[in-house]
Amino acid sequence: MERRTRRGPPRGGRGPSGPKPVKEGDIVEVEVVEKSRKGDGVARVEGFVIFIPGAEPGQKVKVQIEKVGGTYAVGKIVT
């Protein structure tokens, strides 16, 4: 029997080595779509997850990116 190998990007979306749609210091406007297990708001930019402390689902907020990790970013609400 022939063994098949999967080709293409890793499962789960954007891999840690792919280009990220945000960088530290960027200000982006996002809609919070859910809450994380820790209670932070969760938004996405081009599928890239942004955690926003103090944000609630349904809010549209301006966020300054404070930290960018391999698969996520953390931002704070700015006015």
DSSP single-letter state for residue 24: T
Backbone angles phi, psi at 68, to 5 degrees: -125, 120
CA 15/CA 2 separation, integer angstroms: 28
> Residue 62: inside a domain, yes or no?
yes
CATH of the domain at 55: 2.40.50.140
In a domain, 9, yes or no: no
Structural domain of 40: 27-78
In a domain, 4, yes or no: no
Q: Is the pTM of this model over 0.95?
A: no
Query: Is 40 inside any structural domain?
Result: yes
Inter-residue contact 76 to 53 (CB < 8 Å): yes
- Counting the structural domains of the chain, the total is 1
Q: Judge whether 6 lies within some domain.
A: no
Give the tens place of pLDDT for each residue, 17-64: 679 999 999 999 999 999 999 999 999 999 999 999 999 999 999 999
Residue 59 inside a domain? The answer is yes
